[in-house]
Amino acid sequence: DIQMTQSPSSLSANVGDRVSITCRASQGIRKDLGWYQQKPGQAPKRLIYSATNLQGGAPSRFSGSISGADFILTISSLQPEDVATYYCLQHNSYPYTFGQGTKLEIK
C-alpha cells in the first residue's frame, strides 16, 4: 500500500500568513493526488485535483505544487474561514490512501 505522510499534524498561523502543508508518498504517484478541506460536522471538500489544479469554486488563495516527492498545499493568505482539517488523498493505486490530516487554526 502507498503510505501518505502528511505534515505538520497541526498548524497555528495568523490571518494573512502564507501556510503550507506537505504530503510525501512512499512511492511514485505521478500527479494522482487531491487536497481536501474538512470543517467540523461537514463532509470533505476537494480544493485541488491532479496535484496542481484548482477545483472549480475553490478560492484562488489555495494552490498545489510538487517538489520532488513532496506534494504541497499552500494558502497564500490565511483567512478565518480556512480553519479546518486538511487531507491529501492519493488515487494512483489501490487502496487509495489519505494522509493523516493537518488541523489548521488561527493564532
Binding of other proteins by 86 (CB under 8 A) = no
Q: What is the smallest separation between the CB atom of 16 and other proteins, expressed in angstroms?
A: 28
CA distance 18 to 4: 23
Select from 36, 72, 73, 82 the one that contacts other proteins (CB under 8 A).
36
Show the cell assigned to 64: 498545489
Select from 14, 16, 43, 81 the one that contacts other proteins (CB under 8 A).
43
CA distance 63 to 107: 22
Binding of other proteins by 34 (CB under 8 A) = yes
Q: What is the smallest separation between the CB atom of 46 and other proteins, expressed in angstroms?
A: 4
Binding of other proteins by 38 (CB under 8 A) = yes
**Please, what is the end-to-end C-alpha distance for the chain in angstroms?**
36
Could you list the residues that contact other proteins (CB under 8 A)? 34, 36, 38, 43-46, 49, 55, 87, 89, 91, 94-101
